[in-house]
Amino acid sequence: MRAVRELTVKLGERSYPVLVGQGARHNVAQLVPAGAVKAAVVTQEAVGVQVDTGLEQRTFFVGGGEEAKSLTTIEDLCRGFAQFGLTRADLVVGVGGGVVTDVAGFAAAVYHRGVAVAHVATTLLAQVDAAIGGKSGVNLPEGKNLVGAFWQPAAVICDTEVLASLPPREYRSGLGEMAKYAFLGAPDLAELDLDDAVARCVELKASLVAADERETANLAGAGAAGGRALLNYGHTLAHALETVGRYDLRHGEAVAVGLVFAARLARYLGRVGDDRVADHDKVVGAYDLPSRLPADVDAGALVEVMRRDKKVTGGGLTFVLDGPDGLEVVRGVPADAVLATLSVLQ
C-alpha cells in the first residue's frame, strides 16, 4: 500500500490539508480542531463508511440524490445539531459524495454562524472536485446551488480505498468531473494510476481556489483570467439538465455532455476548430461517458434555466468556453447559437 499523500489548499491562515490515498480515512482523529468535544457526522445510509473522530459523535443521515440538497435538509440538520448540543468549538464531518459535502458544509457554515467542518469524500466525484474548495449549498426549484456559502473545511480526506465499492455508474460519474481537468492542465490524466490522478486533480483545483477563492475574477469580467469559475467548464448545460430533472443523467454524466456541448458551441462561435472538438470527443469517449443529449430534451427549457446560472452577472447567457488562449468566461452568448448547438447533440 502506498503512503498517504498530503496536499495543501493554500489560503493563508485558513490553509488546510487534503489527504489522498488508501486508508486515509483512518486519519480523521488526527485532524480534529483543538478544543472540539463533539462531532456531528453527516452521511447517507447507503454510504456505509465509518469514521472515528475520537470525540463524542452522533450520526445524522440525509436523503439520497439532488432532492436532499434543500433548505429543508439544512433546517433538519441544524435542529439536530442543536439537540445534540453541538457548539461553535465543535466539528461537523461530512462522509459521502458531493450531496453530503454540499449540505454538511452549508449546515456547518450557518449553524452558530459557522462551525468547523471536515470532509471524508467517498466518491470519485467528491474526491476530485466537490469536497475541495469550500463551496457549499443547496438547490432551489429554479436552479442548482443557488443558495449557499463559501465555507472552507478544516481538512479533506480522499480515501481511494473506498472507491472500490462504488457502483460502476457512480464511479463513471466521477470520471465526468475528471474529464474536465484534461482541459485545465492535465491532458494526460487518464494515463495515471488512481491515487496519482486524484492527487493531480486536487492540485489543480487547489491552485485555482487559492488564486480566486470566491470567484471574484469572474465577477470582475476578467476573461481568460476567469479564475475559479473555469472549474465550471461543462457545468452550465449539466446543471440545466439536472434542474429540468426528468433526464436519467448523473452529475458527471451531465458534465460529460456539457463538455462536448461547450466544444461545439465554441466552434459555432469561431473560437476553436474541428481538431479541438475532436479532442473533447476523445477525452469523453475514453472514459466511456455519454456525449449526446437525451432524445426527448426540451432545448427551450434548458436555455431558460441556463439564463439563471450563477456565473451570469449582467444578463444574457454565460459559458466557460475554449478558445485560442484556453478556457475563459464568455458573456453575452446568443441564444440562437446555443439552440443551434443543442440541436446537433440530439
Residue 294 lies in a domain: yes
Looking at the structure, tell me whether residues 119 and 248 fall in a common domain.
no
Work out the average pLDDT over 207-215: 93
Q: Which of 125-129, 314-318, 326-330 has the lowest mean pLDDT?
A: 314-318
Looking at the structure, tell me whether residues 266 and 142 fall in a common domain.
no
Residue 181 lies in a domain: no
Looking at the structure, tell me whether residues 256 and 165 fall in a common domain.
no
Rounded Cα–Cα distance for residues 1 and 164 (Å): 14
Rounded Cα–Cα distance for residues 147 and 126 (Å): 19
Exposure string (b/e) for 108-134, b if CB count within 10 Å is 16 or more? bbbbeeebbbbbbbbbbbbbbbbbbbb
Rounded Cα–Cα distance for residues 151 and 184 (Å): 24
Work out the average pLDDT over 53-57: 98
Work out the average pLDDT over 145-160: 97
* Domain harbouring 11, CATH code: 3.40.50.1970
Residue 196 lies in a domain: no
Residue owning grid cell 482523529: 29
Residue 205 lies in a domain: no
Rounded Cα–Cα distance for residues 273 and 268 (Å): 9
Cell reading at 278: 475532436
Residue 184 lies in a domain: no
Band the pLDDT of 2: cuts 50, 70, 90: confident
What pLDDT is recorded for position 225? 52
Rounded Cα–Cα distance for residues 223 and 309 (Å): 17
Looking at the structure, tell me whether residues 241 and 114 fall in a common domain.
no
Of the chain, the end-to-end C-alpha distance in Å amounts to: 45
Looking at the structure, tell me whether residues 110 and 250 fall in a common domain.
no
Counting the structural domains of the chain, the total is 2
Looking at the structure, tell me whether residues 16 and 157 fall in a common domain.
yes
Looking at the structure, tell me whether residues 168 and 228 fall in a common domain.
no
Is pLDDT of 283 > 90?
A: yes
How distant, in Å, are the alpha carbons of 95, 96, 141, 233, 336 from that of 47?
A: 8, 6, 26, 28, 43
Residue 157 lies in a domain: yes
* Domain harbouring 248, CATH code: 1.20.1090.10
Residue 252 belongs to domain spanning: 220-344
How much is the mean pLDDT over the chain?
Answer: 94
Work out the average pLDDT over 183-187: 94
Work out the average pLDDT over 50-61: 98
Band the pLDDT of 218: cuts 50, 70, 90: low
Looking at the structure, tell me whether residues 156 and 238 fall in a common domain.
no
Looking at the structure, tell me whether residues 233 and 140 fall in a common domain.
no
What pLDDT is recorded for position 223? 41
What pLDDT is recorded for position 219? 58
What pLDDT is recorded for position 220? 53
Give the tens place of pLDDT for each residue, 14-52: 999 999 999 999 999 999 999 999 999 999 999 999 999
Do the Cβ atoms of 157 and 119 come closer than 8 Å? yes
Residue 210 lies in a domain: no
C-alpha triplet 201, 207, 211: angle, nearest 5°: 150
Do the Cβ atoms of 44 and 64 come closer than 8 Å? yes
Give the tens place of pLDDT for each residue, 95-121: 999 999 999 999 999 999 999 999 999
Do the Cβ atoms of 142 and 8 come closer than 8 Å? no
- Please, where are the H alpha helices in the chain? 71-84, 98-110, 124-125, 168-181, 194-211, 216-219, 235-244, 251-268, 274-286, 299-306, 335-344
Band the pLDDT of 1: cuts 50, 70, 90: low
Rounded Cα–Cα distance for residues 320 and 69 (Å): 25
Residue 161 lies in a domain: yes
Looking at the structure, tell me whether residues 132 and 256 fall in a common domain.
no
Q: Which of 40-44, 218-222, 336-340 has the lowest mean pLDDT?
A: 218-222
What pLDDT is recorded for position 8? 98
What pLDDT is recorded for position 222? 43
Looking at the structure, tell me whether residues 115 and 255 fall in a common domain.
no
Looking at the structure, tell me whether residues 155 and 35 fall in a common domain.
yes
Mark which of 173, 200, 234 sits at the end of a domain: 173
